[in-house]
Structure 1
Amino acid sequence: MLSILLPTDFSENSISAIKYALEFFKYQKVQFYFMHAYRNEFYDHDDLVSRDVFDAVMDKVQKESESNLNKLLKKVEEISPNPNFTYHTVSAFNTLVEESNELADKYNIDLIVMGTKGKTNDSKIVFGSQTFQVLKYVQCPVLAIPVNYTNTQPKRILFPTNYLIPYKRRELKLLSVLARSYRSDIDVIYISPTQKLSIRQEDNQSFLKDVLLVNKVNFNIVNSRKVAETITNYIKEHQIDMITMTNTQHSFLEDMLFPSTIDKVSLGLEIPLLALQNTTRN
């Protein structure tokens, strides 16, 4: 059974990501945790004008959070009465990143699913600030869904890698399960001006092949120094439906998250991104 965390700010974008998750995982047994972290909303609340009203505003924000989660749960149960699904709600006076990390540990979360943007829908922004924070700092795989994206049956998944870091079996197994659900091809590409792999790279590639043994995997080396451009072109030329990257120091995904390069990789997430965090969780 999968355990999936669905953070929400009750925006249209977050609801869209929730609907995507409900459809995408409809064939799996899943424990869904709908979470609203309201610490920032509390401190930014218009009524919080002095310390005297602290408790009153806290009570108001907490009740609004719990009420909105209950409304969301009723809506979810109406649109997805799936016997494979179990639903839970979490309302917390905490930041999104801190609460996500705590819940990931407490409930052994396999995956966080959220939209690429929150209440803002600025077309110039690839990731909303909340999604950016989760991708960077939460120690759990994240599936980020673009606004209004509806293709829940990916046929080809792109996995760019430099083979320099040892992968975590648990996270590769997650990719394997997601791909196997829809018999998706996984295109593993190594972008480099040289064809030769080091011994370390060969060993990491062998481990990848072993874990993804039940999947259809295509291993390719693309001769190029322009990583972002190569990824963008590959997505278009091969009709890629989802991209997965490992988020570690000096990784493709880390490069993508920095503002200096984010415009270059504004493959911008027109397709979902599965970010593997390469954590040491069991």
Structure 2
Amino acid sequence: MNIKNILVPTDFSPCSKNAVRIAVDLSKKLGAKIHLINAIHVPTPHMDIGGQAMIEPMLEEYEEEVDKKFDALDEEIPGLKDVKHDHRAYVSFTIDAIYTAMETKKIDMIVMGTKGSHDTLEKLLGGVSSEVIRIADVPVLVVPEAIKKFNPKKIVFAADFNKIESIGRLSPLKDIAELFEAEITIVNVTEDDKFPFSRLVESFKVDKFLKNIKHSFETTKNDDVRAGLFEFAEKNSADMIVMMPRKHSLFEKIFKSSVTKKVAMGVKVPLLTFHE
């Protein structure tokens, strides 16, 4: 798995610190460097009322305070001192900071944390994480706060079996299964009992691509794709759910802002997403 740089956005909350812990575990397995970032947005002051003079001391205080918090993570997070890592504070919107870091740090994976409370999920997964999933051209791993150790052995991969332009885009799924010696269940959530021949052809491609990994195919019927997916994952004791958001697919609607919060609240295990 060719991951050398892992990005972890943090606001120093318990759930984001947990994401750092998971990133440390991944870093040790992959030999990857961790890049920690924090962001704060400060509205542009009106120059004619001395706004700039008021803002500059606030920014200096912010940078000093956030540096202390980053330093404290070295003591608080087991193993963080033992892996390569750096940190940076951004004065910008969080999504802009993530995008900048992705471009300048050659990021290969993003790890983000989520908490179980409605307000936090609505704020984090309903906004920043869904936007990160949308713009990131690298895998995004969203980790619930309750998950203290990342060691997936049973992976559920949500597949619609519409035409896959490049089967190689499934490499993150294959790589992580190999890394953790995990078993993959490829599940197709359908709104009816139809399974066109074209989808059968695509399933053969997936089967061939995963030939060296223990895997199986399942179909479950549910009018609500999101509900069907999470019910299946829970019933089959999945350790992780993997999704590949695609345009013009059944799963595209899962990542629309109107339902992303529902998806996030349904996640009880890590969620890995990557684009086709």
Q: Give the TM interval when normalised to the shorter protein.
A: 0.7 to 0.9
Match of 1:98? 96
1:68 and 2:77 correspond: no
Contact persistence 2:245–2:255 (CA under 8 A): no
- Which residue identity lines up with residue 67 of structure 2 in the other structure? E
Aligned length: 269
After superposition, give the CA deviation of every residue in 1:80-102 in whole Å (9 maximum; x if it has no partner): 454xx321222222322222223
Worse-superposed segment, 95-104 or 5-14: 95-104
Q: Would the alpha carbon gap of residues 238 and 220 (structure 1) be closer, same or farther in structure 2, given more than 3 Å must change? A: same
Q: Would the alpha carbon gap of residues 212 and 133 (structure 1) be closer, same or farther in structure 2, given more than 3 Å must change? A: same
After superposition, give the CA deviation of every residue in 1:240-274 in whole Å (9 maximum; x if it has no partner): 11101112234455423345445765661111110
Match of 2:153? 155
Worse-superposed segment, 102-111 or 240-249: 102-111
Once residues 71 and 272 of structure 1 are traced to their aligned partners in structure 2, the CA distance between those partners, rounded to angstroms, is 26
Superposition pairs of residues 196-215 of structure 1, within 5 angstroms: 196-199=195-198, 201-202=199-200, 204-215=202-213
Once residues 6 and 165 of structure 2 are traced to their aligned partners in structure 1, the CA distance between those partners, rounded to angstroms, is 21
Once residues 238 and 112 of structure 1 are traced to their aligned partners in structure 2, the CA distance between those partners, rounded to angstroms, is 26
Q: Would the alpha carbon gap of residues 11 and 33 (structure 1) be closer, same or farther in structure 2, given more than 3 Å must change? A: same
1:145 and 2:147 correspond: no
Match of 1:15? 17
Contact persistence 1:117–1:146 (CA under 8 A): yes
Once residues 265 and 115 of structure 2 are traced to their aligned partners in structure 1, the CA distance between those partners, rounded to angstroms, is 15
Once residues 201 and 106 of structure 2 are traced to their aligned partners in structure 1, the CA distance between those partners, rounded to angstroms, is 29
Superposition pairs of residues 20-99 of structure 1, within 5 angstroms: 20-38=22-40, 40=41, 42-43=42-43, 50-76=51-77, 78-82=78-82, 85-99=83-97
Once residues 167 and 66 of structure 2 are traced to their aligned partners in structure 1, the CA distance between those partners, rounded to angstroms, is 36
Q: Would the alpha carbon gap of residues 243 and 267 (structure 1) be closer, same or farther in structure 2, given more than 3 Å must change? A: farther
Q: Quote the offset at 1:54 in angstroms.
A: 2.3
DSSP-derived class of the 1:189 partner: strand
Q: What stretches of structure 2 of length at least 5 have no aligned partner?
A: 45-49
DSSP-derived class of the 2:55 partner: helix
Superposition pairs of residues 217-232 of structure 1, within 5 angstroms: 217-232=215-230
Worse-superposed segment, 4-13 or 108-117: 108-117
Return the TM-score normalized by structure 1.
0.79
Once residues 115 and 36 of structure 2 are traced to their aligned partners in structure 1, the CA distance between those partners, rounded to angstroms, is 17
Q: Would the alpha carbon gap of residues 138 and 98 (structure 1) be closer, same or farther in structure 2, given more than 3 Å must change? A: farther
DSSP-derived class of the 2:147 partner: coil
Contact persistence 1:116–1:128 (CA under 8 A): no
DSSP-derived class of the 2:119 partner: coil
Once residues 104 and 168 of structure 2 are traced to their aligned partners in structure 1, the CA distance between those partners, rounded to angstroms, is 17
- Which residue identity lines up with residue 29 of structure 1 in the other structure? G
Q: Would the alpha carbon gap of residues 269 and 260 (structure 1) be closer, same or farther in structure 2, given more than 3 Å must change? A: same
Match of 2:119? 122
Q: Would the alpha carbon gap of residues 116 and 251 (structure 1) be closer, same or farther in structure 2, given more than 3 Å must change? A: farther
DSSP-derived class of the 1:88 partner: strand
- Which residue identity lines up with residue 195 of structure 2 in the other structure? K
Once residues 170 and 63 of structure 1 are traced to their aligned partners in structure 2, the CA distance between those partners, rounded to angstroms, is 44
Q: Would the alpha carbon gap of residues 32 and 161 (structure 1) be closer, same or farther in structure 2, given more than 3 Å must change? A: same
Counterpart among 5, 8, 22 of residue 7 in structure 2: 5
Q: Would the alpha carbon gap of residues 73 and 266 (structure 1) be closer, same or farther in structure 2, given more than 3 Å must change? A: closer
DSSP-derived class of the 1:143 partner: strand
Return the TM-score normalized by structure 2.
0.81
